[in-house]
Structure 1
Amino acid sequence: MDQPPEGEGWIHEVKFDGYRAQIIVDRGDARVFTRNGHDWSTKFWPIALAGQALPCKSAIIDGEVIVCNEKGASDFNAIGRAIKAEPSRLCFVAFDLLHVDGRDLRSKPLVDRRAKLAELVRDKPGRIQFSESFEGDATAIFRAVDAMGLEGMVSKRADSRYRSGPSKSWLKAKCFVEADLEVLGVVREPGEAPLALMAKGDGSRNYVGAAVIGLNRAMKERLWERVAGMPGRAPKGIPINKPNAQWIKPGLVGHVRFLKGEGGLRHATLTEVRED
């Protein structure tokens, strides 16, 4: 696990596993934009519709588009399916307010911005929810987040002004897990970090994702020898297109560290390999 910042002056929120976005409300209309500035109002139409019902003439709200699983945790892999088939499952978790009714709040302390945000969205039915915060022992909060199977938490300086991009005032602490998985093959491309293609460790050879190869030199050399000396075929039904993949025969186990959450591997690193 990562470690959250200790000390006073921080507030902590659950880190939701979704798409960062902003709702922009203007004279009765509402649009939803991605982190990169793309207008996804038609894809996130239930959220845009909910934005039109907010009690303000104009606003810019920062947050995360998520889909919750049956346990109530955000499920990143379900967002794409929800956009296509179940848009009613989309929710927007609001955690900051940049503008409201002509007032630029970005220079105000975070706690003041969030107080205005709470007035705007908290306790109102619909697709837009308020991201609740916690104060106190950061390590204890983080352990509780980890025990609930969540991705992590974000710690923010209570007095911080709004700044786009990375900031030392907003720090993420992510929950990682480790597991033994089967190595199906590798992908080596010029200028890119080498990747290991991984499957469940139950012998099914069901693909679960790719992991950056973070092996020491000796283990990496043994892996390249295995790739060269025991070539294999792509497993049947593998749901990815990897024309440059080098597949290997079954029998190689990899120890992988990856981000906790639903579905396949995310932010994964292969740290060890051994023969089954």
Structure 2
Amino acid sequence: MFKPFEFCLPTASKVVPAGADWLHEVKYDGYRLRVERDGSRVRLITRNGHDWTKRYPWIVEAALKNRSKQFVIDGEAVVLGVDGVSDFNALHSRKSDAEVQLYAFDLMALDGEDLRALPLDMRKTHLARLLRGRPDGIFIAPFELGAIGPDLFDAAVRMGLEGIVSKRRDRRYAAGRSKEWVKVKNRTHPAMTREF
């Protein structure tokens, strides 16, 4: 039996790690979500433990179309604008619930196996395999490796994105706040002053 699934939470930082042991993902502006599929049942669980399964039908549909019948994906629920940038206002307004997709960045379990003890590199490989050639609704988060982190952050700021999250490639998935996941935010992004 698995231990309950709990989110790994990044630690805020002002400095992007640049070592070879890190990988870097653009931070999409959305709601953190865990997609749990067990056979014909799918649940969408928020960071605060709310069940939002009925809220985002496209994610549920994509999860049910996957060939694997059991998995737990960690990601961010987002509405993408025509420019490919996440639109938090559209997401928060609830007017676009049918358009919400999952930006998937980690895989906690697959086909009855708990993957949290595996290093992030291996979990990313399993996630890519799970989502390869799958229908829209859940898409895989691209990432960059190593010393490119600070340059990627600068590019994210220039594009008006929220920031980046850097993660140790060789570490397990640990519940709670982690110093092995580091979040660096764009100080000029609207998320910095958001009150909800």
Q: What range is the shorter-chain TM-score in?
A: 0.7 to 0.9
* Structure 2: gaps spanning 5 or more residues: 1-12
Asked if 1:137 corresponds to 2:148, the answer is: yes
Candidates 172, 184, 187, aligned match of 1:173? 184
- Give the Cα separation in 2 of the matches to 1:101 and 1:121: 14
Residue matched to 2:8: none
Give, in whole Å, the separation in 2 of the partners of 1:146 and 1:123: 31
Matched residues in 1 for 2:182 and 2:78: separation? 20
Residues 45-65 of structure 1: CA distance to partner in whole angstroms, max 9, x if unpaired? 221121111121211110000
2:138: which partner in 1? 128
Quote how far apart the aligned CAs of 1:141 are. Answer: 1.3
- What residue in structure 1 maps to residue 80 of structure 2? 68
The answer (yes or no) to whether the contact 1:24–1:31 under 8 Å persists in 2 is yes
Aligned counterpart, 1:32: 44
User: Quick check: which has more Rg, 1 or 2?
Assistant: 1
Identical-pair percentage: 40
SS of 1:176's partner is coil
- C-alpha distance in 2 between matches for 1:59 and 1:19: 20
- Superposition TM-score, scaled by structure 2 size: 0.87
The alpha-carbon distance between structure 1 residues 137 and 86, as it changes in their structure 2 partners (threshold 3 A), is: closer
Q: 1:9 to 1:90 in 2, by over 3 A?
A: same
Match of 1:51 among 52, 59, 63: 63
User: In structure 2, how many angstroms separate the alpha carbons of the residues matched to 1:14 and 1:123?
Assistant: 22
Unaligned runs of 5+ in 1: 178-259, 270-276
Separation in 1, partners of 2:82, 2:162: 16
Residues 62-211 of structure 1 correspond to what in structure 2 (within 5 A)? 62-81=74-93, 83=94, 85-135=95-145, 136-177=147-188
TM-score (norm 1): 0.62
Q: Which residue number corresponds to residue 20 of structure 1?
A: 32
The one-character-per-residue Cα deviations of 1:157-207 (angstroms, maximum 9, x if unpaired) are 000100122101100011112xxxxxxxxxxxxxxxxxxxxxxxxxxxxxx
CA RMSD of aligned residues (A): 1.7
Q: Is the 8 A contact 1:2 1:175 kept in 2?
A: no
| 1: CA distance, partners of 2:40 / 2:123 | 22
Considering Cα pairs closer than 8 Å and 6+ residues apart, tell me whether 1 or 2 has the greater RCO.
2
